[in-house]
Amino acid sequence: MKTLDELLRQERFSDADIVRLLGLTDPEDCERLRRAAYDLTTRLVGDLVHYRGILEFSNRCTLNCRYCGIRRDNRELERYDLSLEQLVEGAVWAAENNYGSVCLQAGERRDELFVAFVEECIREIRARTRSERLPDGASITLSLGEQPLETYARWRAAAGEADCMRYLLRMETTNPEIFARLHPDGFAHEKAYASRIQALEDLRTAGFQVGTGGMIGLPGQTLADLCADIRFYQRMDVDMLGMGPYILSRGGDMLDEGMLEQGPLLQLALNMLAVCRLVLRDVNIAAATALQALAEDGREQGIAYGCNIIMPNITPRPVRKRYQLYDNKPCIDEEPTDCRACLEGRIHRMGRRVGWNQWGCSRHFRRRMNLPISVDAAPARHEQSPGAGLAGIPIQLGSVSDASVSMRNDAVRRDP
Ligand code: SF4
């Protein structure tokens, strides 16, 4: 069998290699994996971390995903919608504070009122975030679920010609049985496995930079399932990944049965991020806020394991508590200014710089579109020797209990 160091020097990985890397638990092995992912990020993507200021503009949702705190049937939740002016003001605040990019997220709706509202927001944000520092305005990521191709085309067109539009649509899991367990039957437009794949293809057709991702550590999910997720991302040739650990929500209707303990779950999520970097190489990978729900420095650990995108929450504070897809969501009591200041220091401590006033487009996207690699995706200032940027920084590895390891291994063995 290959040594771990031999394995980590490869550029191509078999399924068995991927499963082996995902399942690492020994702290020294995890550190080797982390270092390989971090150095590859430096080499292929650069040392900049880009912000997407996230605006959660409505918690109304027509769907009922069982894991989600804002699902349709959660009657306890007070619903809210930001106005167009509030939303645009939030984006202008982001641009004035040197964020080159914002992300608009809401529950899933497909009615014309909603579609036209988003269309208008895109136009306004693109026009009103222009400045000397950001002459072409902010780039925008949408995270608004499955929509018909014509809606994607309308939203894409509203932004104008520039390659500034991204869309994140998580596949959640590529295991159809687990996917089916997450989504109850009943409504005509409830999520379906096949339509989700079609939506990802439609986004590509409409001209978006396309991102997907999944939940890590879902009950019943195996390492082989996560490997299949990575193969799916490869087949779809995605530009961006947004993945996070599965965390229970009190507003959902799933039980905590079969969940990993916090430490092993964090380590598995970090391993997944690192392996995605090694396999998918030059895609943008977001350090999900959910990592911070597991460890105070969870997002920094995500950067250390190969992420290059962070999504600070800039939703107005009074409504933030009402947008909790999962429990213990961090930063819900902080002002956007607090997030900005605290994050930059954390990023510097990870040996990275913030890419202020830049769109931070996926290099993968630029490569597949034959576009020049943009100046904003500048190469690293210096080649990092393994771990050089992190020397002396303790990386908090998840504590792995025997019980949870055996649960995870059992899950692997159960896989056909
Ligand atoms: S995950 Fe998205 S689509 Fe599903 S219930 Fe939550 S907000 Fe709605």
pLDDT digits (tens, 9 = 90+) for 282-318: 999 999 989 999 999 999 999 999 999 999 999 877 6
CB 107 near ligand 1, within 6 Å: yes
State in Å: Cα 294 to ligand 1 middle: 21
State in Å: Cα 98 to ligand 1 middle: 30
What pLDDT is stored for residue 373 in this prediction?
74
**Kind and range of the H or E element at 345?**
helix 336-349
313 beta partners? 54
pLDDT digits (tens, 9 = 90+) for 169-210: 999 999 999 999 898 765 555 788 899 999 999 999 999 999
Instruction: Report how many domains make up the chain.
Output: 1
CB 68 near ligand 1, within 6 Å: yes
Asked whether residue 113 carries a pLDDT value surpassing 90, the answer given is: yes
Helix, strand or coil, per DSSP, at residue 27: helix
CB 65 near ligand 1, within 6 Å: yes
What pLDDT is stored for residue 191 in this prediction?
81
State in Å: Cα 63 to ligand 1 middle: 6
- Contact assessment for residue 75 and residue 27, using Cβ atoms and an 8 Å cutoff: no
CB 108 near ligand 1, within 6 Å: yes
- Contact assessment for residue 224 and residue 415, using Cβ atoms and an 8 Å cutoff: yes
State in Å: Cα 73 to ligand 1 middle: 11
CB 61 near ligand 1, within 6 Å: yes
Percentage, residues of the chain above pLDDT 90 = 71
Could you tell which of 142, 250, 325, 326 is best to mutate to test the pocket of ligand 1, judged by most ligand atoms within 8 Å of the CB?
Answer: 325
Helix, strand or coil, per DSSP, at residue 277: helix
Asked whether residue 321 carries a pLDDT value surpassing 90, the answer given is: no
CB 56 near ligand 1, within 6 Å: no
Nearest-atom number in ligand 1 for the CA of 106 is 7
What pLDDT is stored for residue 411 in this prediction?
34
What pLDDT is stored for residue 317 in this prediction?
72
> 62-66, 102-106, 129-133, 265-269: which has the minimum mean pLDDT?
62-66
Asked whether residue 379 carries a pLDDT value surpassing 50, the answer given is: no
Q: Can you read off the two tokens belonging to residue 16?
A: 């068995």
> 145-149, 153-157, 385-389: which has the minimum mean pLDDT?
385-389
- Give the residue from 304, 355, 229, 369 showing the smallest Cα distance to 39: 304
- Give the residue from 353, 268, 276 showing the smallest Cα distance to 98: 353
> 45-54, 100-109, 139-148, 329-338: which has the minimum mean pLDDT?
329-338
What pLDDT is stored for residue 14 in this prediction?
98
Asked whether residue 394 carries a pLDDT value surpassing 50, the answer given is: no
CB 169 near ligand 1, within 6 Å: no
Could you tell which of 59, 60, 62, 63 is best to mutate to test the pocket of ligand 1, judged by most ligand atoms within 8 Å of the CB?
Answer: 63
What pLDDT is stored for residue 404 in this prediction?
33
Domain that holds residue 203: 4-414
What pLDDT is stored for residue 253 in this prediction?
82
Cα–Cα distance between 289 and 291 in angstroms, integer?
Answer: 5
Nearest-atom number in ligand 1 for the CA of 325 is 6
Nearest-atom number in ligand 1 for the CA of 68 is 6
What pLDDT is stored for residue 396 in this prediction?
32
Percentage, residues of the chain above pLDDT 70 = 83
What pLDDT is stored for residue 412 in this prediction?
29
HEC sequence for 216-263: ECCCCCCHHHHHHHHHHHHHHCCCEEEEEECCCCCCCCCCCCCCCCHH
- For position 303, which CATH number holds? 3.20.20.70
> 157-161, 267-271, 368-372: which has the minimum mean pLDDT?
368-372
What pLDDT is stored for residue 380 in this prediction?
38
Helix, strand or coil, per DSSP, at residue 95: helix
> 105-109, 127-131, 365-369, 409-413: which has the minimum mean pLDDT?
409-413
Cα–Cα distance between 109 and 289 in angstroms, integer?
Answer: 24
Give the list of residues 6+ apart from residue 315 with CB closer than 8 angstroms, or none: 54, 55, 56, 57, 82, 90, 323
- Contact assessment for residue 294 and residue 265, using Cβ atoms and an 8 Å cutoff: yes
